Amino acid sequence: MHSRVWPLALLAAISTCCHSQTAPAPSTADNNPSALSADETPTIKVQTSLVEVSAIVRDKDGAPVAGLKQADFGLKQDGKAQPIRFFSQGSDLPLTLALMVDTSGSQRMFIRDEIDAGKAFFPAMLKRPDDRAVLVQFDDRVLQLAKLTGSTTTLEHALAYLTQDHSQVGQSGRGGTLLYDAIVGASHLELSAQLGRRAMVILTDGGDNGSHFGQKDAIREAQRAGVMVYTIYYSDGGGDENGLKQISAATGGREFAVSEKMKLADIYAAIAADMRQSYEIGYTPPDTRPNRYHKIELKTTEKGLTVQAREGYYTPKQ
């Protein structure tokens, strides 16, 4: 297994470095070598002045709608209509996915189910030759279990390492759940520079304990990177499901809750369906002043349809 830790010092540096949707991701140091070697698939990076918006359109029953054209959409920034410069069916573009698994003490009982469901999830998501994914676990550290790769075999093997305790509780005497740090790290270090669709799927009870960053920071970094965050509330009753809903809504993703009626495998199937039916829309921002937040409104002209997309974006810092 290839694994590496995202140190706090590196994550903290993100808050002061130049943020950009197209900036190259900083390198991180490898952790101790392990048995599984991740595929060295090269990453694709792109420089663009377009603001990219990933969108899912739903009918009155909540099912994804395919087949819409550019003329079926209207887009506004800060209340002013903007011409759409780029339009594509999401399935025509590569997908970069981060699967993030909470392995803190409150989540250990769910790990086996998450491993079993994950074995079917990666093949369902990575359909194109240039699709790729990264596997990350977080507790009192943020640990990458598999590099960004297109190999479902590599990712499936890495899932097995979720059962191992990589936390430092025994050394430090403290626990932790670095949910917000994990979102910031994956957005900035793994996803921000990738071409095409970018999504994050997080398995957690929503609790955070010990992160350097807060919820607003996590949302901001995901919006900067154009990442749709899908959160999956997996809990026996604790945590913060409402906080997960807020993160997903702000970034254009969805929040799910595992239950007797909605198994984890069913949720994964719903997310895969979303990715197959997504639309990618780009426009030229009228205001490029650095580090400004702008509200995005994306709607369809078709009656009875709703659009799931991120609520806004930040212009890069200089």
Average pLDDT over residues 25-39: 34
Residue 172: which pLDDT band, with cuts at 50, 70 and 90?
very low
Asked whether residue 242 carries a pLDDT value surpassing 80, the answer given is yes
Q: Domain extents for the chain?
A: 4-10+92-276, 51-86+284-314
- Please give the pLDDT value at position 151: 96
Average pLDDT over residues 30-55: 51
d(CA 236, CA 241): 12
Residue 181: which pLDDT band, with cuts at 50, 70 and 90?
very high
User: 4-10+92-276 belongs to which homologous superfamily?
Assistant: von Willebrand factor, type A domain (3.40.50.410)
Asked whether residue 15 carries a pLDDT value surpassing 70, the answer given is no
Average pLDDT over residues 82-101: 90
Residue 99: which pLDDT band, with cuts at 50, 70 and 90?
very high
Average pLDDT over residues 58-70: 92
Quick one: CA torsion of 81, 71, 293, 255, rounded to 10 degrees?
140
- Judging by beta carbons within 10 Å of its beta carbon (0-12, 13-18, 19+), is residue 274 exposed, middle or buried? buried
